[in-house]
Chains A and B, each alone.
Chain A
Amino acid sequence: MEHLALIYFGIFSFISVSCAAMVLFARHPINGAMALIGLMTSLSGLYAILHAPFLAVLQVLVYAGAIIMLLVFVIMVLNGAKDDHTPYFDPLSLGLLLVPAGILAVLVHAFRKHPLLMNEKAVRGTVDITGQALFNSSTGNVVLFEAVGLALLAALVGAVLLAKRNLDSSKEN
C-alpha cells in the first residue's frame, strides 16, 4: 500500500507533463484546450494524493469546469480555424529559457545542502481545516480574501465594459 501513492504519482506526473507538452506543440487552439483539461485533471489527482482534497475539488470545479469552458467557448466563437496563416513558433524567444535553467542550477545546489523531506505531522487539508485557515483573522488571510473578491468584481465589470464597447462599435458600423 505504501507504494501505491508512488505509482499514482508517476502516472499523474506523466499525464501532466505530456499534456503540457501537447499544449506547447498543438496546432489548433482546441487541441491545446483539450490537453489543458487533461493537465488540470491530473493535477487534481496529484493534489488528492498530496492530502489536499479541497484543492483537488476546486481545481476540477474552477479550472476544468469554468476557465477551460470559457476558453473553449471563445475559441468556438472566434472560429480559431482561421488561424492557418499564423506562424507556428517564434524560436528566437526560446533563448529566454536559459533563465529557468539557471533557476534549476540554484535549486539543485540548495536542495543538496538542505534536503527536502515530507513532514509526518502535516495536516490533511480538508474543507474544514482549509476554511478555518482561510478565515483565520490572526494570519490576515481574510484581507487577502476580500482583496480577491474585489479583483473578481473588477474583472467582471471590466469584461462587461469591454463587451459593451464592442456592441456599440458594431452598431456604428
Chain B
Amino acid sequence: MTTIPAICIQFLALVLFVLGLATTLSRRNLFFLLMGVEVMLNAANLSFVGFSRTLPGEASVEGLVIPVFVIALSAAEACVGLAMLILVFHSRESVDADAYSRMKE
C-alpha cells in the first residue's frame, strides 16, 4: 500500500474545494461559475477516494463507486448549464452574472 498520509489527501481536497468555492462566489463571468462548480465536484471526488483507502476489504471499493456517479451527474450538469448559458447569452449579449438578475425579460 502507498505511504501517502491519508490526512494530506483530505487537506488537498479541502484546498481545492475552497479554490472552487472562491471561483464560484467571486468571479462575475458565467463560464467561471460553471468551472468553479466542476472544481468543487472534483475536490469532493478526491475526498471520497482518499477516505475509501482508509477502509479494509470490500468497503474500500464503495468509496470508488460514488465518484463514478458524481462524474456522470457533472456531465449532465455541464450539458444543461452550457445550453442555458447559450440561451441567455443570445438574449442579453453578456457573460456578466449580474446581467441576469432579472430572469423575466
Q: Which chain A residues have a beta carbon within 8 Å of chain B's beta carbons? A: 2-3, 5-6, 9, 13, 16-17, 20-21, 23-24, 26, 29, 32-33, 36, 39-40, 43, 46-47, 49-52, 54-55, 58-59, 62-63, 66-67, 70-71, 74-75, 77-78, 80, 82-83, 85-91, 93-94, 96-97, 100, 103-104, 107, 111, 115-123, 125, 129-130, 132-134, 139, 141, 144-145, 148, 151-152, 154-156, 158-159, 162-163, 165-166, 170
Contacts and interface: CB of A to CB of B under 8 A. Distances in A.
A88 B28 contact: yes
Interface string B50-75: 10111111101110110111011111
Interface string B6-31: 11111010111111111101111101
A71 B32 CA distance: 11
13 contacts: A5-B4, A29-B95, A46-B49, A50-B4, A59-B71, A83-B29, A97-B21, A111-B7, A134-B68, A151-B76, A152-B72, A152-B75, A155-B76
Contacts of B90: 166, 170
Contact of B54 (A122, A159, A165): A122
Interface of B is mostly: helix
Given A144-B69, A155-B80, A158-B83, A9 B8 contact: yes
Contacts of B68: 55, 58, 130, 134
Contacts of A130: 61, 64-65, 68
Interface of B: 1-10, 12, 14-23, 25-29, 31-32, 34-36, 38-39, 42, 45-46, 49-50, 52-58, 60-62, 64-65, 67-69, 71-80, 82-87, 89-90, 93-96
